[in-house]
Amino acid sequence: MPGASRREFLTSAAAAGSLLLACGDDEGVGGSAGEGGAGGAGGAGGAGGAGCAEDPFAGGERIGELPFIDDGDTELGVPFNAGWDGRLYTDLSTLSPDSLITPNDQFYIRTRYPDLLDPRAPWRIRVSGLVERPRELTLAELTPLVSPRGVHLMECSGNGRGGSFGLLSAARWAGAPVLDLLASLAPSRGATRVLISGFDGHSLPSENGHSKPGASWIFTFEQLASAFLATEMNEVALPPDHGAPVRLLVPGWYGCTCIKWVDEIVLVDDSEPATAHMKEFASRTQQVGVPELAAMYAPATIDQAAMPVRVESWSTPSGPLLRVVGILWGGSALTGALSIRFGDGPWAAVQVCPAMTTNATWTLWSYAWRPTRRGTFEIRMRVDDPTIVTRRLDEDYYLRTISVVDV
């Protein structure tokens, strides 16, 4: 699914009823004011989908967008800085049903291409450790194993409000399954884990001290069941800032485990110490303390999460109305048990419609909201299913705030 340009998206979204993402149980817009003075409006949209309510924005006009407060002032969609401090924050506010794939030049960056890496040198991946035949792999040897791997979302474990939560993107990938590659290398019987490292040489240190040298993570074979060494991104060769010529992608795990510029694979056993990279990201991947052994690390998986990405202001035949558009991502079980809360008002169900069909990428939803008072509102999300882990949601990690001046 090709990504639409920002101009194309804004043009299409301006039309009444152009963004029908989720729905509610009630056909109309109504509800009483909650404690925070926020009138419940039910989920909105989904016209034409099975079980979807009629669109309360039909016949209306989008007249603006309410900015999120305290989201930082970093320009989105533009790369800046170099080396370990290099970043690009994806502008999530542009997401629409026709642009769920992030273009390569808009996909988030956390660490730019190493200036000490010579792009002209032949690429080699060193294979050693508990393996019968230590060797160096070439890209030519990797190529026959490459195949389309589908669309997968990636999120930096340090994603945060200061960058409008823009260290979060989704792309279509192609690559070589890691387990297929390992099978061809004949691991020794004692090998229980795989250490995968990438080139991480930069001439300048991190100015803010947020990054340390070394990029490597240790996995069990089972944890690599769906992992692949990516060589293509959105049907072209990997761009330099995204790990060219080869990077690891572990679906459902934080980006710090998806090592870029992979140049080494070492087969180890359960006594292997945790790498400096694993220790650096221990708290951000919600480990218990900073374990010394790799075997003590829990999988660095992304919990189920949700948040708004924009709040649209509409003029409708029934009066002013806000459309809260958001995303649902992470986790390993499909869910539609999503609720939203404005300020200290009541929780209200968001019927995700069309329903969530995959955990590999994000699902869009929307909610029609008619505030009954002016003021500042914190927007919280939750998943009403006790079987689904939502640690960051539970901590209000993805909380966003808006100011309502017209009611």
- Report the residue count for the chain: 407
Domain span at residue 314 reads: 6-74+303-404
Taking the CA atoms of residue 10, residue 12, residue 17 and residue 19 in that order, the dihedral angle to the nearest 10 degrees is -70
Number of domains the chain contains: 2
Number of neighbouring beta carbons within 10 Å of residue 273? 14
The answer to whether the Cα torsion of 251, 252, 256, 257 is positive or negative is negative
Last residue of a domain, one of 243, 270, 296: 296
Query: Are 98 and 186 in the same domain?
Result: yes
CB burial class (10 A; 0-12, 13-18, 19+) of residue 94?
Answer: buried
Query: Are 290 and 375 in the same domain?
Result: no
The amino acid that residue 303 corresponds to is D
Contacts (Cβ under 8 Å, ≥6 apart) of 42: 24, 25, 26, 28, 29, 30, 31, 53, 56, 348, 367, 368
Per-residue pLDDT of the chain (407 residues; tens, 9 = 90+): 333 333 333 333 333 333 444 443 332 243 222 334 445 555 544 333 445 778 899 999 999 999 999 898 899 999 999 999 999 999 999 999 999 999 999 999 999 999 999 999 999 999 999 998 899 999 999 999 999 999 999 999 999 999 999 999 999 999 999 999 999 989 999 999 999 999 999 998 888 767 778 899 999 999 999 999 999 999 999 999 999 999 999 999 999 999 999 999 999 999 999 999 999 999 999 999 999 999 999 999 999 999 999 999 999 999 999 999 999 999 999 999 999 999 999 999 998 988 999 999 999 999 999 999 999 999 999 999 999 999 999 999 999 999 999 88
- CATH number of the domain enclosing 165: 3.90.420.10
Query: Are 53 and 180 in the same domain?
Result: no
Cis? peptide before 245, omega within 30° of 0: yes
Among residues 282, 254, 258, 257, which one has the least CA distance to residue 159?
254
* Stated pTM of the model: 0.89
